[in-house]
Structure 1
Amino acid sequence: MTQEITAALPRLGHGFRFQWEPAQDCHVLLYPEGMVKLNRSGGEILARCDGKTTVAAIVTDLEKTFAMAGLAAEVCAFLQMAAERNWVVLATAPGAGV
């Protein structure tokens, strides 16, 4: 995990809405052009992306919640992919971001 991403404060990208979709039986990201169905891991990660919690704290919470260690690389990889697709913004301070 790089120091840069662990200190980031991920939040949903503009135009995206995260919610549980009963018809799909999963969490989804809604946006004007469609919907992204998320697997359980993706949903658990995005549920914690509030723009106030660092990536490091998200990893710690997931490891505690699921009694698993070593999730940092997977969480960081998911968030980097999500940022590339504009699903999330990896802000460096509240309200800031790329």
Structure 2
Amino acid sequence: MISLALDSKPRLPRGVRLKHDAVRNEWTLLAPERVLKADLVAVEILKRCTGDATITAIVDDLASAFKADRTRIESDVQTFLADLAAKRMIDL
């Protein structure tokens, strides 16, 4: 697993985008020759991956918005972003 620095500012790399399919009412992460379905948790994380906010800021925002345990959110966000980074679908 890729190690993430909490001060990293994740962003979608060139050619990768988050798209909502209105016909199927589902979100997908589109990359060259790859498509991943994104559940609602993934969408909330990916919407915040603009290259402006650090991982810490994203975790804080999610914990505040959903009134959830920050430690659990931090673990989930790090696991999710590390997996996407390994697939080269997010830049850290």
What is the TM-score of this pair, normalised by structure 2? 0.86
Distance in 2 (CA, whole Å) between partners of 1:33 and 1:75 is: 25
Q: 2:89 — aligned with what?
A: 87
Q: How large is the RMSD of aligned CA atoms in angstroms? A: 1.6
Distance in 2 (CA, whole Å) between partners of 1:20 and 1:5 is: 29
The Cα of 1:5 is off from its aligned counterpart by: 2.0
Size of the aligned set, in residue pairs, is: 88
- Sequence identity, in percent? 32
What is the TM-score of this pair, normalised by structure 1? 0.81
Note if contact 1:48-1:58 (Cα within 8 Å) is conserved in structure 2. yes
For 2:43, give the aligned amino acid: G
Distance in 2 (CA, whole Å) between partners of 1:76 and 1:31 is: 21
Is 1:39 the counterpart of 2:39 in the alignment? Answer: yes
Gaps of 5+ in 1: 91-98
For 2:84, give the aligned amino acid: A
Q: 1:30 — aligned with what?
A: 30
Note if contact 1:9-1:54 (Cα within 8 Å) is conserved in structure 2. yes
SS of alignment partner, residue 52 of structure 2 = coil
Aligned residue runs from structure 1 range 1-98, under 5 A = 4-69=4-69, 70=71, 71-90=73-92
* Between 41-50 and 31-40, the greater mean CA deviation after superposition: 31-40
1:37-68 residue CA offsets vs partner (Å, 9 max, x unmatched)? 11111111001000010000000000111110
SS of alignment partner, residue 45 of structure 2 = helix
SS of alignment partner, residue 6 of structure 1 = coil
